[in-house]
Structure 1
């Protein structure tokens, strides 16, 4: 009670807010702020939920017209996937990031395996005959990734369980970062990581 009284006294004592005695009681106005008047909408009607709408009379079914079950609605078709080269290879298309991610996953695993087995860094692997292996793997994996896309198969249609298309994208992104981090670390360190 005391807090509400003190709040009211502070409002009335404030010189910026004054009480007006126009047509409404307890109407406060702030002189520096424009407030448009709001008119009541006379066409607005409120109905009670307790009122029941008027019901249409129900016609009894005759035995002459048998009731036939309606056919089930057709299943919604999956949206048509574009098979144009410009759509598949577009910046936001399904192919570029997936192909780069798949190449990075294979490249990161191969680079780490050769580094552990032979003791060669990434740059030594490239200079020691790794370019033909890289090009061959890139061509085979790119073609294997593009063939289903050009046949109209969407990437999301083959996602089930743990092997989802989102998981593949994130694994590819992490492999790309891992391959760059491996090469950068070996360059700064001047030798192999392991």
Structure 2
């Protein structure tokens, strides 16, 4: 049970209600709506980050899943387990990402591997080796590299909030049944 009550859509401002309902009226949004003064801006920034044409959708989902796994966020993994296949991520790839080293031996291409390495290093060490950064930057360019960093930052921060608030999984979310290695 969440530590802070969920805000009912009818108790939100009109704009907050529109944004919440647009994104599925998820527990995440209903608990964060308690921060009324920053909620709308946070939602709009999230929409922009998730719909930008600069970063391929598949790559964005790989980053979200890897960050969710590394941040020990069952909510993020549960939500994106169903979203990722719509971006071309297979169940086997999800399982590889949601493991310590399985992603290294999976069928990801060189750019995806570089982005997964950057995500792993940044989340686990709070820094990135120059060679890893150069590989991502060389493959994606400046704007997409910064977007990758923004996605990592957004979902790492989100995981911290979800974990602190103990937000309940929505009925639509499924946690992956990951195989034991």
Query: What is the TM-score with the length of structure 1 in the denominator?
Result: 0.25
More helix by share: 2
The structure number with the bigger radius of gyration is 1
Larger relative contact order (CA 8 Å, sep ≥ 6) = 2
Query: What is the TM-score with the length of structure 2 in the denominator?
Result: 0.26
